[in-house]
Structure 1
Amino acid sequence: MKTELKFRLATEQDLDKIVKMLADDHLGRKRERYEQPLPDSYIMAFHAITSDPNNELIVACQENEIIGVQQITFTPYITHQGGWRATIEGVRTASSVRGKGVGTELIQWAIKRAKDRGCHLVQLTTDKKRPNALRLYERLGFKATHEGLKLKL
């Protein structure tokens, strides 16, 4: 990136841009609803996230424009001697900057944030239909050490 990225907690005013980024790819178009006004479900989720001290919705800004987003959840575990983990979810970059290093900077920032919060592990998942994301995470040192399963409800 030519301009240094700034990272900050998302505000409710950012929500429109965040949902637009989430909906702006081949998978997002199938599962998100970017419309005006935004569905209340996004607003309720935003308030649930921002009211929980173990959840952070982070935006990456280039000058005044939001060009990336990610959610980090900090979870205490009984395993690993009661250690904390950080889970990174919902990583997206604006289509105008994809392939330009924004995703790398987002994940590196999240890893540093996890260390700052005392986490011993950072975990994430990515859809198998996102091979570029998988390559990015592997390049950053993530290993596929476990088999992940999901059950849609």
Structure 2
Amino acid sequence: MQPVIIREAEEKDVPAIVALFAADALGGHGDTTDAEALPSYFKAFRRIADSDCQTLYVAERAGEVVGTFETMISTTMTGRGGSSMIIEAVQTRADCRGQGIGGQMIEFCLERARREGLRQVQLTSNAARVDAHRFYERLGFAKSHFGFKFKLK
């Protein structure tokens, strides 16, 4: 099996990233590969790419995007002004699940957070993603908070 390379996403990766999310029926985000929606995704990509605190990544194998995730660095007054990494939008292509790609993506994040001296790594996961919860717990994450959302659109 070809090795997985994790790298920062490039604009050319946007359609493949969108396809990962559009294929996810459980996520409920309304993502679509419809060409009319692509400008919104490219706008989001540029906003993330221009941010000093956010980074979008892809996991690539044999030249194909097989996974994606985003990291954000957040500094708060709590924890003596400590900084944390927040992992969001973790997705592995459906036909590639169970091959260790998700674990490699999360380990990449943990190593980066250690190198940068961050105090913790946190993530949220859709309440319906029971398999994902077990996956994160196997990697050492602990359930610690409840999350709340207020939808504006």
Q: Could you tell me the TM-score, scaled by structure 2's length?
A: 0.93
Report the Cα offset of residue 122 of structure 1: 0.4
Answering whether residue 139 of structure 2 is matched by residue 140 of structure 1, we say yes
Q: What is the aligned partner in structure 1 of residue 14 from structure 2? A: 15
Give, in whole Å, the separation in 2 of the partners of 1:4 and 1:32: 28
Q: What is the aligned partner in structure 1 of residue 95 from structure 2? A: 96
Give, in whole Å, the separation in 2 of the partners of 1:151 and 1:29: 15
Which residue type is aligned with residue 34 of structure 1? T
List gaps (5 residues or longer) in structure 1: none
Give, in whole Å, the separation in 2 of the partners of 1:30 and 1:107: 22
Identity of aligned residues (%): 35
Residue 37 to residue 60, structure 1, CA distance change in 2 (3 Å):
same
Report the Cα offset of residue 5 of structure 1: 1.2
Q: What is the aligned partner in structure 2 of residue 119 from structure 1? A: 118
Aligned residues: 152
Give, in whole Å, the separation in 1 of the partners of 2:94 and 2:143: 27
Q: What is the aligned partner in structure 1 of residue 129 from structure 2? A: 130
- Counting only pairs closer than 5 Å after superposition, residues 1-153 of structure 1 correspond to structure 2 as 2-28=1-27, 31-153=30-152
Which whole-Å deviations, capped at 9, do the CAs of 1:121-152 have from their partners, x for residues lacking one? 10000001111111110100111111211111
* Contact 2:56–2:70 (Cα < 8 Å) also in 1: yes
The alignment yields a C-alpha RMSD, in angstroms, of 1.4
Q: Could you tell me the TM-score, scaled by structure 1's length?
A: 0.93
Report the Cα offset of residue 29 of structure 1: 6.1
Judge which range, 91-100 or 38-47, deviates more: 38-47
Residue 24 to residue 149, structure 1, CA distance change in 2 (3 Å):
same
Residue 150 to residue 30, structure 1, CA distance change in 2 (3 Å):
closer
SS at 1:113 equivalent: helix
Give, in whole Å, the separation in 1 of the partners of 2:27 and 2:120: 27
SS at 2:103 equivalent: helix
Which whole-Å deviations, capped at 9, do the CAs of 1:23-55 have from their partners, x for residues lacking one? 112124652122125432211111110001211
SS at 1:85 equivalent: strand
Give, in whole Å, the separation in 2 of the partners of 1:26 and 1:151: 21
Residue 23 to residue 82, structure 1, CA distance change in 2 (3 Å):
same
SS at 2:109 equivalent: helix
SS at 2:35 equivalent: coil
Give, in whole Å, the separation in 1 of the partners of 2:29 and 2:80: 40
